[in-house]
Structure 1
């Protein structure tokens, strides 16, 4: 499958639809602040895990996503919760405590492949920013490996490109593009609500 250097109509539309939401999250994320302590990272990661678990189920464990195999390589993408769990375990979270982390109730339920890919755009795109953040905070948070931020590691670029290929092929019509945009916006807003706005200070 080939792809031009120009963004597909779907990608351009998703960028436009989420630009302001992405900038807002960058302003409020503890990972983007000047100073970050390991306790704050762990609190944030725990909240993200409560969002990621139901999101991964909604996006990757459905007939809609299975129909997009093998192009999407779902087995590789269905691992972000485990990355967060690894960081939290390194930070002292017991298996019981990990299991008791509350789950976000605001995750959209995709009803089409366009909606599914709009939601996946948020988590797959986040691996690009995570790669930058992992380098920024490496060695500065009490020895945490930051597995979540490292994401796909050396495969990050290739997996992002393969996702864009699938997006370009399966989100083409104006109605599908609009559905993907709405799903991506809803996913961003669910993250903002659960991870930022409603995040309590977790007991240590």
Structure 2
């Protein structure tokens, strides 16, 4: 598997065209406290609960699609890791306003956002460890496989993208960032 020059444009487009939405999402209360070095275990639990509320319905929508084995979708499901961190005593609220995942390009755009979060999770894991906060199973992502899983995803994405579906992939990624941001910022 190698990324062809003509298809690398989807990765460039995604990085470029989702930049503003990605930056807006990162301005949430949890990230600001983490960056300032004032993160608490309670803020981490609140943030993880919000992430679960988005990931669980996202993963439920993913399960409605058939993926070739190379996508390793079963390994890409991570909502259960949040439950390991939180061990909730009651049901966590779920996001009622999810991005649509009806088409293959919509799925690819949303996956770009959620798979990309595994990279940021590596940084968050280190910061939580420094703060002595143990609830970081979810943020560990795929552990040592995080880099290879991301590269594999990028490879598969570039192979699946074409001139006809790139705009829809990008729009789905932007909408996923926006919906996630709105959900996380909701009290």
Picking from 109, 114, 129, the partner of 1:138 is 129
Question: Partner of 2:174 in structure 1?
Answer: 185
Matched, 1:111 2:102: yes
CA distance in 2, matches of 1:184, 1:87: 27
Q: For residues 178 and 77 of structure 1, do their structure 2 counterparts lie closer, same or farther at Cα, with a shift above 3 Å needed?
A: same
Q: Deviations over 1:102-146 (max 9, x none)?
A: 11011122222111110000000000010011011115244x240
* Structure 1 stretches of at least 4 aligned residues deviating more than 6 Å after TM superposition: none
Q: Number of aligned pairs?
A: 184
TM score, norm. by length of structure 1: 0.84
CA distance in 1, matches of 2:27, 2:49: 20
Aligned alpha-carbon RMSD (Å): 1.8
Matched, 1:194 2:187: no
Question: Partner of 1:61 in structure 2?
Answer: 63
Aligned positions of 1:31-180 closer than 5 A: 31-33=31-33, 34=36, 35-58=38-61, 60-63=62-65, 66=66, 68-78=67-77, 80-89=78-87, 93-94=88-89, 97=90, 100-138=91-129, 140-142=131-133, 144-173=134-163, 175-180=164-169
CA distance in 2, matches of 1:105, 1:4: 38
Structure 1 unaligned residues grouped into runs of 5+? 200-204
